[in-house]
Amino acid sequence: MSSTPIGIHDISFATTSLVLDLGVIATRMGIDPQKYYSGIGQVEMSVPARDEDIVTLAANAALPIVERHGRDRIRTVIVATETGIDQSKAAAVYVHRLLGLGENCRAVEFKQACYSATAALQFAAAMVQRDPQQQVLVIATDVARYDLQSSGEPTQGAGAAAMLVAADPAIIALEPVTGLYTEDIMDFWRPNHRDTALVDGKTSIRAYLHAIEHAWQDAQRQGAPGFEQIDYFCYHQPFTVMAVKAHRHLVKIAAAAASSAQVDAVLEPSLIYNRQVGNSYTASMYIALVSLLDNVAQLDGKRIAFLSYGSGCVAEIFTGVVQPGYASHLRTAAHAAALQGRTAIDDADYLARHAQTQPTDAGAHPAPHETTGHFRYAGLSGNKRLYEATP
């Protein structure tokens, strides 16, 4: 077995062209906006334009990576999502074409709620270990949709995170020990006939904490670094206060002596982007990583723990070490531009977009050009989804 470090060689995130301030939803519901801004820790949520979906988000996130590193060594692209656009064809196949990847490449989609990008990352690391010349593109991409007036409505959002997994990584070397937990439960799910998720909100919070606790205990039994050996923690963030709740729970389980102020200080840099994007399901924990990397100086040699949770449920905890010189590989300005470049929409516009459903007939249904991204969903024709680079 090779001892070459393997991990994240490059990472980039993309979000939608539109944004809604959560105060707009609070006003419509007649509740105090502070419930959202500080109670759940969400300020805004990204809203897809009519020609944006998980495929365009994924391709937009990954384009800067393939432009920087080339396409020749990428022989696998994995798209992790729980908001797939086809029951059969992998979103990765559309993304593969949009990115101009070579034909001698495998393309596949992974699913297990918000967790599957972590499975994709672990699979990718194993593939690179088998052939260190190979690079694997892992892309987490989702559009979170709940019913209007439901408890989940303020926790919608959309985004994608793309990672190039390679030997001798420039950003994060993954450590091999992981902690795992799986249990068949119904805390959050989306039956095939629905385009919005169903959730038992309070149960889902308890299920998240329970799964993280058991995955942590497994990680410790497997010989993972202890709490005191970890410098930063990146959690799955369905809403950012969930990460704070989970970290306080972990402090208790690990019998660590962290004060509330220390908990908040260690987490805060990883919450900045998700507070503005909303829940991006599979991408959320990796956008948290980008937020941490972009918002803290001098992370060289620091160990980060990743705490991944997907309802249903599966949890995995693993660690990685930030590589010397990583800072020159970041895309901080592009990420800030993606967030700041979104156009704010009002409640009427948001409600009209939320009400829109996919046509089910075989006619031609072109999508209006709204996106500011590099790729667009051009519409449906004969029940086939059409994608193109923007002119």
Binding-site sequence positions for (3S)-3-hydroxy-3-methylglutaryl-CoA? 32, 146, 245, 279
CA dist., res. 115 & res. 30, Å (int) = 34
Of 20-28, 32-40, 51-59, 100-108, the window that binds ligand HMG (rule: CB under 6 A) is 32-40
Q: Is 185 in the site for ligand HMG (CB under 6 A)?
A: no
Using the rule CB under 6 A, which residue among 4, 34, 260, 343 binds ligand HMG? 34
Q: Is 213 in the site for ligand HMG (CB under 6 A)?
A: no
Using the rule CB under 6 A, which residue among 10, 101, 119, 152 binds ligand HMG? 152
Q: Is 178 in the site for ligand HMG (CB under 6 A)?
A: no
Q: Is 39 in the site for ligand HMG (CB under 6 A)?
A: yes
Nearer to ligand HMG, 85 or 205 (CB): 205
* 3-state SS string for the chain: CCCCCEEEEEEEEEECCEEEEHHHHHHHHCCCCHHHHHHHCCCEEEECCCCCCHHHHHHHHHHHHHHHHCCCCEEEEEEECCCCCCCCCCHHHHHHHHCCCCCCCEEEEECECECHHHHHHHHHHHHHHHCCCCEEEEEEEEEECECCCCCCHHHCEEEEEEEEEEECCCCEEEEEEEEEEECCCCCEECCCCCCCEEECHHHHHHHHHHHHHHHHHHHHHCCCCCHHHCCEEEECCCCHHHHHHHHHHHHHHCCCCCCHHHHHHHHHHHHHHHHHHECCHHHHHHHHHHHHHHHCCCCCCCEEEEEEEECCCEEEEEEEEECCCHHHHCCHHHHHHHHHCCEECCHHHHHHHHHCCCCCCCCEEECCCCCCCCEEEEEEECCEEEEEECC
Nearer to ligand HMG, 76 or 155 (CB): 155
Q: Is 113 in the site for ligand HMG (CB under 6 A)?
A: yes
Q: How far is the CB of 307 from ligand HMG (least distance, A)?
A: 11
Site for ligand HMG in 315-374 (CB under 6 A): none
Catalytic site positions: 82, 114, 236
Q: Is 239 in the site for ligand HMG (CB under 6 A)?
A: yes
Chain residue at closest Cβ approach to ligand HMG:
39
Q: Is 311 in the site for ligand HMG (CB under 6 A)?
A: yes
Nearer to ligand HMG, 48 or 379 (CB): 48
Give me the half-sphere count of Cα atoms (radius 13 Å) on the Cβ side of residue 172.
26
Of 33-41, 84-92, 118-126, 265-273, the window that binds ligand HMG (rule: CB under 6 A) is 33-41
Q: Is 145 in the site for ligand HMG (CB under 6 A)?
A: no
Q: Is 196 in the site for ligand HMG (CB under 6 A)?
A: no
Q: Is 201 in the site for ligand HMG (CB under 6 A)?
A: yes
Q: Do residues 135 and 166 lie in contact, with contact meaning Cβ atoms separated by under 8 Å?
A: yes
Nearer to ligand HMG, 4 or 34 (CB): 34
Nearer to ligand HMG, 241 or 330 (CB): 241
Q: How far is the CB of 384 from ligand HMG (least distance, A)?
A: 28
Residues making contact with ligand HMG (CB under 6 A): 32, 34-35, 38-40, 82, 113-114, 151-152, 155, 187-188, 199, 201-202, 204-205, 208, 236, 238-239, 242, 279, 281, 309-311
